Structure 1
Amino acid sequence: MPFNIYTLPEYSADRQLLLRLADDFDKEGTLLVKGSRNTIKTNFFKGEKVNIKYFKKPGLLKGIIYGIFRPSKAKRSFEYAKYLLSHNILTPKPVAYIEDKAALMLKDSYYICSHIEYDFTFRELIHNPLFPDRQNILEQFTAFTYRMHEARVNFLDHSPGNTLIVNKGNGEYDFYLIDLNRMKFQDMGIEVRMANFRKLWPSRTMVKIIAAKYAELSGQPYEKLHSMLLGSTLDFKRRITKKKYFKRKLKKK
């Protein structure tokens, strides 16, 4: 395949090995995620486990847009990961991204990064109010998000499954962002910062914990942050619930 590959400098001599991972993607590796848009497999690169994310081939129009005008999702994932790590925000280490273009149109693309053995995701904190050490984890997660905001990162997919959490022991946790291709890099006012938590679907109790910790870190009044965060969260939940309701109604027709 006519692949173009871009790597971190330390992997420049390993391009053929990395290209082989993409070339053999369909028949090798262990399936990790099979989604409607993307597929993720694990495989081994120089003895280390890596994730290879295949982005669904875009249609004609999007293929031209990604081929000429906009960076591909694979490239964005790679570049955004580098930005995050340069600002001490954890994410699986980027290794390479690979693109197959024909006549300036993007066809297939892949993003390769290190594999993280994690203990749980943010989703478990939502579904289990009695999750061990829940308040401490939420406070550390809020501090992690605050650092992200201070680094001008507006993570548009800040949702329950997109933070991997590693229990380091002694009440300490590491947080790794994944699914990186939708981000904005901008100075954010406090309303935008609070709205950035809404896709996490926090409960009212979680909202209180997050608002209190963010107030402590930012110097903003707790009551102000709590009101913003609760309002944004409830509004988001209403919109999603309404959308699901209308989808069910349409399916019955």
Structure 2
Amino acid sequence: MKTIVNDEFRSLGDFIKSLPETFESGGTTLYKARNTVKKFTCDGIDLIVKRYKRPNAVQRVVYTLFRPSKAARAYSYANILLDRGYATPTPIAYIEIKKGGLINECYFISTVTTDTPLYDALVETPDFDRELAAKLAQYVAQMHIDGVMHGDPNLNNILYNREDDGTTHFTLIDTNRSTFKSNLSKSSCISNLVRLTHRRDLLEYLISRYAEYRKWDVDDTVRRVIEGLDKFEHRREVKYRLKQKYLK
């Protein structure tokens, strides 16, 4: 077992090392699907612990020999984001467990954020908050200008809090698929924007404000993103039908 702990949280070392044994029976489950996310408390400090789905045979080889594991990337990318001025929960530690010489299980531990996902405020509301959406569009545009690209920027992975004076702050989570480059291409930015939301009126508004901020042609940018969403949804529907047909 490999355990990397942030120097600021060395006092939690023993607790962190015990997590693979205590994870199933301890903590409060916040999310459970492919990955499982739980909240733990140790020495008065609230922690978020994410256990990633066990990798398949190919991924085990890749994560051992060629690429950092999801947990290792989550830890290092969080530090990069914080260094670049983008809010994300403070990385506390990550754990990798090998079996037969290959990575078999991994965990990422971070501090807790009380910020709210944008999904409810923008997607689940019939008349979405245009001021909030415009600020989000500018935020994502500035991220791209700064060479920062969230790998899955859906509106459950971008959180926000609004101060009494109206100032809005954003926080990024689930960042292990992020990309950091000095100069992101326009096509890669457009592909990334497709992942913001499936709600068409909201997406068109977000992309319009994004394009204005970047001084891009608004109509062309909206068209390209919507075309990208159409293709994405079509591929997903085909994949779903194939699963229904062959996995019954």
The residue number in structure 2 matching 1:34 is 32
The residue number in structure 1 matching 2:209 is 213
In 1: Cα distance, 2:190 partner to 2:136 partner? 14
For residue 240 of structure 2, give the secondary structure of its aligned residue in structure 1: helix
For residue 160 of structure 1, give the secondary structure of its aligned residue in structure 2: coil
The Cα RMSD (Å) is 2.3
In 2: Cα distance, 1:56 partner to 1:250 partner? 20
The residue number in structure 2 matching 1:116 is 113
Specify which of 90, 95, 119 is matched with residue 92 of structure 2.
95
The residue number in structure 1 matching 2:103 is 106
Tell me the amino acid that sits aligned with residue 80 of structure 2: Y
| 8 A Cα contact 2:46 2:111, kept in partner | yes
Deviations 1:57-88 (A, max 9, x none): 22333222212221000000000100011111
Specify which of 44, 48, 68 is matched with residue 47 of structure 1.
44
| 8 A Cα contact 2:74 2:108, kept in partner | yes
**Aligned positions, number:** 245
For residue 54 of structure 2, give the secondary structure of its aligned residue in structure 1: coil
Tell me the amino acid that sits aligned with residue 76 of structure 2: E
Gaps of 5+ in 1: none
The residue number in structure 1 matching 2:184 is 188
The residue number in structure 2 matching 1:174 is 169
The residue number in structure 2 matching 1:15 is 13
| 8 A Cα contact 2:37 2:49, kept in partner | yes
Tell me the amino acid that sits aligned with residue 198 of structure 1: V
2:149 matched to 1:154?
Answer: yes
In 2: Cα distance, 1:68 partner to 1:138 partner? 41
Using the TM superposition, give the Cα deviation of residue 172 of structure 1 relative to its aligned residue in structure 2, in angstroms: 2.4
2:64 matched to 1:67?
Answer: yes
| 8 A Cα contact 1:67 1:105, kept in partner | yes
> Percentage identity across aligned positions?
25
Using the TM superposition, give the Cα deviation of residue 204 of structure 1 relative to its aligned residue in structure 2, in angstroms: 4.9
In 1: Cα distance, 2:174 partner to 2:149 partner? 13
Using the TM superposition, give the Cα deviation of residue 101 of structure 1 relative to its aligned residue in structure 2, in angstroms: 1.9
In 2: Cα distance, 1:249 partner to 1:241 partner? 12
Residue 147 and residue 104 in structure 1: after superposition, are their counterparts in 2 closer, same or farther (change >3 A)? farther
Structure-2-length-normalised TM-score: 0.87
| 8 A Cα contact 2:208 2:222, kept in partner | no
Gaps of 5+ in 2: none
